[in-house]
Structure 1
Amino acid sequence: MASIGHVAVGMALGRFETGTGVPWRRRVAVMGFLSLLALLPDADVVAFALRIPYAATWGHRGASHSWVFAVGVALVVAALARWRGASATRWGWLALAAVGSHGILDTLTDGGLGAALFWPFSHARVFAPVRPLPVAPIGAGMLSARGLYVSGVEFLAFLPAWIYALWPRRKAPPAGATAQGLHPGA
């Protein structure tokens, strides 16, 4: 899968987390952080440079795409959130959603070896019963016609998440305003 869908998930989670009335710099930081978490499992592409076979446990779409990996990252994020005085529970769940979504989304592609969602309990690579997303070429192949096609399909598939994440927010009504827009006692 191209990274477009993973980033869209991170951005949407960031929008969900920041709510209304949050300064734009904080919103951008939270969206960026959650997008990086959603992309984190693909750091395993370094395995290609290290000559680790694709099908190996630490190969692409291996252990780093598992739910155990997602839980581990979520626990680290929760601990860091607690240390910084933020809600460990909330940040742990957000991190779990971001990292855990990666493997699930990769099972929706039509190529590769599948994702090792159940590692270390099973080394099997799995696909979803329905696979609507074309698999993305790796590396410079993304600059080809096939890469452009995959990016377009993925952008359209995740357009609702992009719209949710980037749609301008309404300004919050002033405190004490009623449904008719009048202040109490006016």
Structure 2
Amino acid sequence: MSTPMTPVGHSLMGLAIGWVVVPAEFSQRAKIVTLAAFVALANAPDWPLPGWGHDRYDVSHSIFLTLGMIAVVAAIATAALRRTRYFAWRLIVGGAIAWLSHLLLDTLYFGRRGLAMFWPVSEARVSLPLPWFTVMQLKPLVSAHNARVFAIEAAFYGAILALVVIARWLWTRSARATSCESAD
């Protein structure tokens, strides 16, 4: 039995997307909570719930159901946060992108027949495999193969996260320098 990706890649991509959209003025605690939410959203299709995740891959990885769930979660988040200092549309949009990133990333792995993301409308499968991504094995979970899969995901998606962190730091630094120059 195999699964396309480990949670490592999804989590790092969720962090990268969250890092792009988290407001700079958030407190450290608010940033941590927000980034944790982005990690959770990026892993949402694999949550081990009854009738969800790998129990019902067709359901949890359907673009149609994903968009419907995103709409529900976005409406709840908007209602809950609308009148607080923590509300920002970029967080809602970023959360949707983090959730949707899961489907895209699952199409990048060799060892699967593709992702049937158009269920229940179609059984068509999307497969965009990259040669360095292979599937993880669930049995045995602890193996040299899985260690390699984890390491490749950590390196690839960790590099994306590092680029995002550096780009955000440079952009913030540039914005501060511009605002200091204009204040003079």
TM over 0.5: same fold?
yes
Counterpart for residue 114 of structure 2:
114
Query: Cα RMSD over matched residues?
Result: 2.9
Tell me the secondary structure at the aligned position of residue 181 of structure 2: coil
Instruction: Kindly state the Cα deviation for residue 151 of structure 1 after the two structures are TM-superposed.
Output: 0.6
| Larger Cα-atom Rg | 1
1:114-153 matches, cutoff 5 A: 114-128=114-128, 130-138=130-138, 141-153=140-152
- Identify the residue that residue 161 of structure 2 maps to in structure 1: 162
Q: TM-score, normalised by structure 2?
A: 0.76
Residues matched between the structures, number: 170
User: Residue 24 of structure 2 aligns with which residue?
Assistant: 20
Q: CA deviation at 1:131?
A: 4.9
Give the TM-score of the pair, scaled to structure 1.
0.76
Matched, 1:10 2:23: no
More deviation, 7-16/69-78: 69-78
What are the equivalent positions in structure 2 for 1:1-186 lying under 5 Å apart? 1-43=5-47, 59-60=56-57, 62-84=58-80, 85=82, 86-87=87-88, 89-128=89-128, 130-138=130-138, 141-164=140-163, 169=169, 173=176, 177-178=180-181, 183-184=183-184
Query: Relative to 1, partners in 2 of residues 1:164 and 1:32: Cα closer, same or farther, differing over 3 Å?
Result: farther
User: Where in structure 2 are there 5+ consecutive unaligned residues?
Assistant: none
Q: 1:162 to 1:9 in 2, by over 3 A?
A: same
Shift of the alpha carbon at 1:132?
3.7
Runs of 4+ displaced beyond 3 Å: 44-48, 89-92, 129-132, 164-176
- Structure with more helix by fraction: 2
- Larger RCO (CA within 8 A; separation ≥ 6): 2
Residues 114 and 127, structure 1, Cα contact 8 Å, conserved in 2: yes
**Counterparts of 1:110 and 1:45, CA distance in 2:** 26
